[in-house]
Amino acid sequence: MTYQNEKKILLIDDDIYLLNSIACYLRSEDFQVDIAENGYNGLQKIGFGQPDLIITDIMMPQLDGYDLIKEIRTNQISYKIPIILLTAKGMTSDRILGYNLGCNAYLTKPFYPQELIAIIKNIFNHIELSNKYKNNKSSLQLNTKTIKDSIFNTLTNREYKILTLVAKGYMNKEIANELKLSLRNVEKYVSRLLQKTHTRNRTELAKLALLTYFNIQKGE
């Protein structure tokens, strides 16, 4: 991946030496890094310009990492920002609390910098794949709707009514009774609908109608 230089990471820790060391290492990996020496300063920087990811210590004076996560996750603007907790608190209960509050990953001090990088890249890769899937799905839905609209715009009002009844599970005889048509005419209409919609049978025809919301009757 070559997205590092486009990603901004906010690093929050009251240990200045560790803060600068991690920041230096992240920059060497081509990430943009901003630093904050406490939770309040971190919140201010989030407000000025949202980072793509936040790495924060837990044990900080005044506003600790847990309270910081609460503030971030309850803010309408910042609630989606992924958060990694870096901490000397390695108890299971501490990790559970962090995950329950909404952190994306938990790394106990001391740690290998390579592991931190791997976690960061994994989070960004997951977000990228998720966005790609959503975009592809939206594009597919739009294209499908356009194709279906172009097909159904050619239907007559009578064909549309028959299609609606097919989608509701009506058989040809029931459709004939409902619309006061001969059974033979209904059969012709259904055959014509199969041709126009490029479906092979009544089941596919009904499914297509339901997918395009033809349970909402048109012109009735």
Secondary structure element (H or E) that encloses residue 171, with its range = none
CATH of 4-133, one of 3.30.750.24, 3.40.640.10, 3.40.50.2300, 2.40.50.140: 3.40.50.2300
d(CA 66, CA 103) in angstroms, rounded, equals 9
CB 79 within 8 A of CB 72: yes
d(CA 60, CA 13) in angstroms, rounded, equals 7
Residue whose structure tokens are 């958060």? 83
For the chain, the structural domain boundaries read 4-133, 154-211
Residue whose structure tokens are 């490029």? 198
Q: Does domain 154-211 have CATH number 1.10.10.10?
A: yes
- Predicted TM-score (pTM) of the model is 0.61
Secondary structure element (H or E) that encloses residue 107, with its range = strand 105-108
Per-residue pLDDT of the chain (220 residues; tens, 9 = 90+): 455 568 999 999 999 999 999 999 999 999 999 999 999 999 999 988 889 999 999 989 889 999 999 999 999 889 999 999 988 776 788 888 888 999 999 998 888 899 999 999 999 998 888 777 666 555 545 555 554 555 667 778 888 888 888 888 889 999 999 999 999 999 999 998 888 877 888 888 887 777 654 444 444 4
- 3-state DSSP assignment of residue 181: coil
Output the CA torsion 60→64→69→72 (10° steps). -90
